[in-house]
Amino acid sequence: MNSETQIVRPIRDPAEKHSVQLKRDLQLMKDYLMMCTRKEDWHGVMDASADIREIVAKLSILTPPARHEHAFKDEA
């Protein structure tokens, strides 16, 4: 019996998995923001916008800038 410890690497990169979850959360918060706007729930709008800013900041660390949905495009 071999007593060596072997390390099993995850199939997916944990950062990639976290990025996918953040993108889902971002879409949910955008939907929530729109709902709060329609209901004129301005406290909810503030909360949603703060959460969206936080998610976007986390995504900017985990993904290259060129892949961001919110990246500015040169219109010239």
pLDDT at 70 over 70: no
**Residue in the block written with tokens 């040169």:** 74
Q: Kind and range of the H or E element at 60? A: helix 42-62
pTM of the model: 0.65
Structural domains of the chain, count: 1
Q: Cα 13 from chain centroid?
A: 15
Q: What is the pLDDT of residue 48?
A: 98
- The pLDDT tens digits for 9-39 are 666 667 678 899 999 999 999 999 999 999 9
Average pLDDT for the chain: 83
Whether residue 68 is contained in a domain is answered as: no
What is the rounded CA–CA span in Å between residue 44 and residue 34?
A: 10
Q: What is the pLDDT of residue 4?
A: 76
Q: Provide the domain limits for residue 50.
A: 14-62
Q: What is the pLDDT of residue 34?
A: 98
Whether residue 29 is contained in a domain is answered as: yes
